[in-house]
Chain A
Amino acid sequence: MNRTSFHCTSSIPTSFSKVCHPERSAKGATSKDLLFARIAVTLGLAVLLFPQAGHAQQAQPWTQIPIPPLHPFHPQQPKRIELKNGLVILLEEDHELPFINGSIEIRGGSRDEPASKAGLVDLYSDAWRTSGTASKDGDTLDDLLEAKAAKVETGGDVDSTSVSWSCLKKDEDLVFGIAVDLLQHPDFKQEKLMLAKQQAAASIVRRNDDASGIAEREAAKLVYGPNSPYTREPELATIKAVTLDDLKQWHDKTIVPNNIIIGVEGDFDAAAMEKTLRDVFENLPRGAAWPKPAGDFSGPKPGVYVVDKTDVNQSNVNIVGLGTLRNNPDYFALSVMNEIFSGGFGSRLFQDVRTKQGLAYAVGGGYGASYDHPGMFRVIAGTKSATTVKATQSMLAEIGELKTKPFTEDERKRAKDQVLNSFIFNYDTKEKVLAAATRLEFYGYPANFLEKYRDGLEHVTTADLERVAKKYIDPSKVAVLVVGNQQEFGTPLTELGLGKPQAIDITIPGAPQQGMGAPGNDGGEQ
């Protein structure tokens, strides 16, 4: 369900660490430079700030502009139906356009696959759709659906798999029927598993070509451990070990109604849709509940880590530690702290590293919170090789100052205004309302969590900020990772005073040194 970080750029991406799937198809080629890189904000909501009331001496015409009350707006919450077998349905009518979009979310994802078969869930979710069903193979489905500008896709993620569909209202019966057929009568085919393995192998051998991809991956390994279910990578050997039977077993194990949440949004009548879904799902027998995630989260071993990459002139600096969970009562205060620290143009980190010093274009991060396991504390910047140490020192200083530089009332107010004034963008479309409700349902959070979050933010004080910064921020527990061209650093990393830099070996096991050779056709058990 963590669907934040999988946007493959089609056409000519400026970088890629994951080979795109064809169904995320070509837009017109873009060659654009943005004002700034949007860095995934790990903690909650959009990130915004407030005018510095303090120091402007001249007239401030914008303060004279009237802001009338906002038109009242009460987004309709989805209709929730829980079947006797535990399956949950969420329905959100939206009659603006003649489309219907649905998603069947199923508990269990890559964190639950065996380490020796890492990549299983990716292969499963690829081959599931491309193989097709007992009555129609995947290629036939492609022809059928594309002719109607409709989609049925299967997906896999760290904690879930899914079947989703999207179509014109007039095609709903056919398209929903295909989605259900995939769920109930999949027909996993050896040739499609092989194809999925080829694509996976292509991703694996290319994963060191992009510096920021390396940084993201290795930073997570430092925090959660290299063999953690959250960070282990599919390898050529582990994808080779996956068999057709593994896919079938995974399917049978996960497709039980009490592990499934269905969300549908669009141009339908909720009562009729409820009946359709009941007819299909009501009589499925309940199965074993999917186990809650467990794991040992101790955080990184402090120190400086380096990946040497000789074909870049910019260093990717990542400073990482362990984050928290969203159900932590301190989540609200940490969210405000995050806004102040790294939330927008006015945040301490952005103001210092980018605006004041001009050391980076991409800078950001935050104290992360996930729904059912600790997130990551991650602060990143991309800076030219020669300023690697300088930028890292600035980032470390900003982290340290969270504990020493008092949060001002002005900072607190700006952070709160940013979040609260943009709060409506959490639910300004029916798609967003349904997506949020589905997410909360999936992780077992209260349906009013968003309202509680808003109320919580309102009540955060500077004393709260000081308290959580003291409690959660510990510069002595972070790891510093640099992916860059060491010969160009100038100032050595030892200047950071965090000990001797430790080189990380990113060699890809089993991959040939050349750009060719290798797996090609040896995807697995023939």
Chain B
Amino acid sequence: MKLFPTLRLAALVCGFAVAAHAQDLSSFEKRITTKVLPNGLTLIVCERPEAPVFSYFTIVDAGDANDPDGQSGLAHMFEHLAFKGTKDIGTTNYTAEKVALDKVEQTYAAYDEEYRKRVGRDEAKLKTLHAAFEVAQADAQKYVVPNQFTEIAEANGATGLNAQTSLDDTQYFWSMPSNRLQLWAYMESDRIANPVPREFYKERDVVMEERRMRTDSSPIGRMVEQFLATAYVAHPYHRPNVGWMSELSQISATEAAAFHQIYYVPSNIVIAVAGDVKAEEVMPVLEKYFGQIPTGPKPEEMSTVEPPQIAEKSVILKEQVQPLYLEGYHKPDYRDPDDAVYDAIQDIFSNGRTSRLYRSLVRDQQISAQAEGFSGFPGNKYPGLFAFFAVPNPGHTPTEMRAAIHKEIDKLKTTDVTDDELAMFKTRARADLLRGLGDNQGLAEQLAIYQMRYGDWRELFNQLKKIDAVSKADIRRVANKTFVDTNRTYAMVEFQPPNPGAVQQTQGGAQ
């Protein structure tokens, strides 16, 4: 997840001599306006008038970790739905379309009920029900103006239009010429308040293709899915955020609407705008549009906490691809006082050609083509993993990767890191923060994420205090606490030739 590309954007309080540039917290205090609307939605406006453009970033504090049981992939599915238009956009006649869409849901529910029968499913009836569902979809389709929402945005100069869903949250973003700010506010607020689940079941097919691309047909995707399913027993981090195919393929628009009802409430959303905007001019415009979103209670927090792991776990995949190695250790979430210590370990282990894993595994032992350790996988909002990933060189095995990584971990536990290593981490964190400030989209993203996660965007800058406080002893302490055998899960991909029978059958080209 992305809470900490932010590590690079860490903080700036006692940073460089940048007086001439005024890129410190107090300068941002002057350029940033925050407002919590009566309905609970938080708005951030950051003035950066370098060019007549702006970028926005909407973060909804709900991701696929919030998918109800049996509906994995729902948060991501809803994200796709958020581009299908509203009661005004994407329809020729919403009143008539609503009737038709209700009929789609009724016919789908009838079909689905029959489909899920374990005993006594009537195949003929199932066919009839499916035909009725098809007819209802065709009827609803008559009112659709396909892709009108995105077309309006793109015709008005939207660039980098996209959205993403992780297990932790859902994010929407694009950039536009600054004279389109009001148009954007209208569109974004309308789709948050009034999304319409049109073309839902075709979009579900699209998302199933996305799963085939990212997971089923990708060796690394398959490995990661099995790894997480093994590492987590109770917490929803064990599920793929695109969803299990069986569940994804049975999600209904009714379920998506229920998800929206619970999680797309203003108090669960932060929206940041950065660019050629004046807060005094745009804030009233934003209030007018975003203030209309109906209020709702802040969703209940999850009760599940992953229990401590009590034994090492593993998953071995035999694949017709070159070998890979991945291991992970449970760690606390981003609010933990030691969070910056994990960032330090990540930096010292993985950042560039001075990093320990590069120098040891790649440069000196020459057993890996790539080796890294990283904090917060698959997310940071809840306790994630500190993971290590290595790509063996030809002639070398995952087992060798594992041994070499453990040797480096042991060193970290028993010997202090050097002064230079620690200083390098802190210097790079400052510089990376500074580098990130010259980009509207990056700024909007960081401000929105920090506001959501800490309740105050200033934490983006204040992080540096925590980074500066990291000591050598902290690193040893955290390494000794975290990197223990019983807290470890690993995945190996080992080469296995394809089934020779299968190869023979298909070698002659298709018939």
Task: List the interface of chain A (C-beta within 8 A of B).
Answer: 10-16, 19-20, 22-23, 25-38, 46-52, 55-62, 65-73, 75, 95-99, 130, 138-139, 142-143, 146-149, 168, 170, 195, 198-199, 201-203, 205-206, 209-212, 267, 306, 308, 310-314, 344-346, 350-351, 354-362, 382-384, 414, 417-418, 421-425, 427-429, 486-487, 489, 492-494, 500-503, 511-521
**Complex contacts, B354 vs chain A, CB 8 Å:** 142-143, 146
The residues of B that contact A49 with a CB separation of less than 8 Å are 150-151, 154-155
A312 and B217 form a contact (CB under 8 A): yes
- Bound together, the chains give a CA A70 to CA B53 distance in angstroms of 9
> Cβ of A209: which chain B residues have Cβ within 8 Å of it?
219, 321-322
Binding site for A on B (CB under 8 A): 1-8, 16-18, 20-21, 23, 50-53, 76, 79-80, 83, 88-89, 91-94, 145-148, 150-152, 154-159, 162-167, 175, 177-180, 182-183, 186-187, 199, 201-210, 212-221, 224, 241-242, 276, 319-323, 326, 346, 350-355, 358, 362-363, 366, 369-370, 372-380, 387, 389, 391-397, 420, 423-424, 427-428, 430-432, 434-435, 437-439, 494-495, 497-499, 502-503, 505-511
Contact between A14 and B167, CB atoms less than 8 A apart: no
Contact check, A493 vs B389: say whether CB atoms are below 8 A apart: no
Q: A25-B372, A424-B157, A487-B502 are in contact. Are A142 and B397 (CB under 8 A)?
A: no
* Nearest 4 Cβ contacts at the A-B interface: A515-B495, A358-B205, A50-B155, A520-B395
| Cβ–Cβ < 8 Å partners of B51 in chain A | 73, 75, 424, 427-429
Contact between A70 and B370, CB atoms less than 8 A apart: no
Please classify the interface of chain A as helix (H, G, I), strand (E, B), loop, or mixed, using the class held by over half of its residues. Answer: loop
Q: How far is the CB of A366 from chain B (nearest CB, A)?
A: 16
Tell me the nearest residue of chain B to A519, going by C-beta: B394
A516 touches which of B202, B369, B380, B394 (Cβ 8 Å): B394
Please determine whether B353 and A31 come into contact, CB atoms closer than 8 angstroms: no
Residues of B within 8 A of A383 (CB): 209
Q: How far is the CA of A515 from the CA of B323 in the complex (A)?
A: 6
A11 near B377 with CB under 8 A, answer yes
Separation of A4 and B465 alpha carbons in the complex (Å): 37
* Chain A positions within 8 Å of B377 at CB level: 11-12, 28-29, 31
Chain B neighbourhood of A19, CB < 8 A: 369-370, 391
A361 touches B376 (CB 8 A): no
B218 in contact with A354 (CB, 8 Å) = no
24 of the cross-chain contacts (CB-CB < 8 Å) are A14-B224, A15-B221, A22-B358, A22-B372, A35-B79, A48-B157, A48-B158, A49-B154, A57-B93, A65-B186, A70-B179, A96-B50, A98-B23, A201-B393, A312-B216, A314-B212, A344-B150, A360-B209, A382-B213, A422-B154, A424-B53, A424-B157, A503-B508, A516-B394
Closest chain A residue, CB of each to CB of B398: A515
Interface pair A147/B420, CB less than 8 Å apart: yes
For B503, list chain A residues within 8 Å (CB).
308, 310
Q: Tell me if A422 and B158 are in contact (CB < 8 A).
A: yes
Known A25-B350, A97-B434, A345-B151; 16 more pairs at CB < 8 Å: A15-B220, A30-B166, A32-B165, A33-B79, A36-B162, A37-B213, A61-B186, A67-B183, A71-B276, A97-B435, A99-B434, A146-B354, A202-B369, A202-B392, A209-B321, A515-B322
Question: How far, in angstroms, from A489 to B510 measured CA to CA in the complex?
Answer: 9
Return chain A residues, CB-CB under 8 Å to B499: 310
Q: Distance (Å) between the CB of A42 and the closest chain B CB?
A: 17
CB closest residue in chain B, given A487? B506
Q: Is the CB of A31 within 8 A of B52?
A: no
- A25-B350, A60-B88, A67-B180 known; A492 vs B511 contact (CB < 8 Å): yes
Complex: A16 Cα to B224 Cα, angstroms: 14
Across the interface, name the chain B residue whose C-beta is closest to A206. Answer: B322
**A422 → chain B, closest Cβ, in Å?**
4
Q: How distant is the Cα of A450 from the Cα of B145 in the complex, in angstroms?
A: 34
The answer to whether A33 touches B241, judged by C-beta atoms less than 8 angstroms apart, is: yes
Q: Which residues of A contact B159 (CB under 8 A)?
A: 46, 48, 422, 425
Q: Give the complex CA separation of A144 and B432 in angstroms.
A: 17
A97 touches B437 (CB 8 A): yes
A14–B206 Cα gap in the complex (Å)?
18
Q: Are B393 and A198 in contact (CB under 8 A)?
A: yes
Q: How far is the CB of A72 from chain B (nearest CB, A)?
A: 8
Give the residue name and chain of the B residue nearest to A502 (CB): B509
Determine chain B's interface SS by DSSP, over half rule: mixed
Q: Tell whether, in the assembled complex, residue A35 and residue B502 are in contact, meaning their CB atoms are under 8 Å apart.
A: no
CA distance A20 to B214 in the complex (A): 19
The CA of A15 and the CA of B391, in the complex, are separated in Å by 13
- Whose C-beta in chain B lies nearest to the C-beta of A10? B372
Q: Given the complex of chains A and B, what is the CA–CA distance between A130 and B391 in angstroms?
A: 20
CA–CA, A206 to B183, complex, Å?
47
**Nearest Cβ in chain A — how far from B241, in angstroms?**
6
With A201-B393, A355-B199 as contacts: A71 and B431 at CB distance below 8 Å: no
A12 to B218, CA, bound (A): 12
Assess whether A58 is in contact with B93, with CB atoms less than 8 Å apart.
yes
The verdict on A306 contacting B1 (CB below 8 Å), with A23-B353, A26-B346, A33-B164 known, is no
Which residue on A lies nearest to B431, using beta carbons? A149
Contacts of A514 in B (CB 8 A): 495, 497
**A26-B346, A516-B394 known; A51 and B152 CB under 8 Å?**
yes
Partner of A69, one of B179, B497, B506: B179
Q: Decide if A198 touches B369 in the complex (CB within 8 Å).
A: yes
Complex interface: chain B residues within 8 A of A30 (CB): 1-2, 166
Contacts of A350 in B (CB 8 A): 147
Give the docked Cα–Cα distance between A360 and B206 (Å). 6
Q: How far does the alpha carbon of A59 sit from the alpha carbon of B218 in the complex, in Å? A: 46
Q: Which of A14, A22, A195 contacts B220 (CB 8 A)?
A: A14
Report the bound CA distance from A99 to B88 in whole Å: 46
Other-chain residue from A22, A26, A99, A515 in contact with B362 (beta carbon distance below 8 A): A22
**Nearest-CB residue, chain A, relative to B79:** A35
Complex CA–CA separation, A356 to B162 (angstroms):
20
Q: A15–B394 Cα gap in the complex (Å)? A: 18
What's the minimum C-beta distance from B507 to chain A, rounded to whole angstroms?
7
Chain A residues contacting B20 (CB-CB under 8 Å) are 95, 98
Q: Which residue of B lies closest to A94 (CB)?
A: B438
Q: Which of A32, A36, A209, A517 has the most CB of B within 10 A?
A: A32
Which residues of chain B have C-beta atoms less than 8 A from A492's C-beta?
510-511
Tell me if A345 and B154 are in contact (CB < 8 A): yes
With known contacts A354-B206, A361-B206, A382-B209, A26–B351 Cβ distance under 8 A: yes
Instruction: Judge whether B80 and A424 touch: CB under 8 Å.
Output: no
- Determine the distance from Cα of A418 to Cα of B431 in the docked complex, in whole angstroms: 36
Given A14-B214, A414-B151, A514-B495: A355 and B502 interface contact (C-beta under 8 Å): no
| Residues of chain B lying within 8 A (CB to CB) of residue A354 | 206
Whether A314 touches B216, Cβ cut-off 8 Å, given contacts A29-B387, A146-B428, A201-B394, is: yes
Contact of B92 among A57, A313, A520 (CB under 8 A): A57
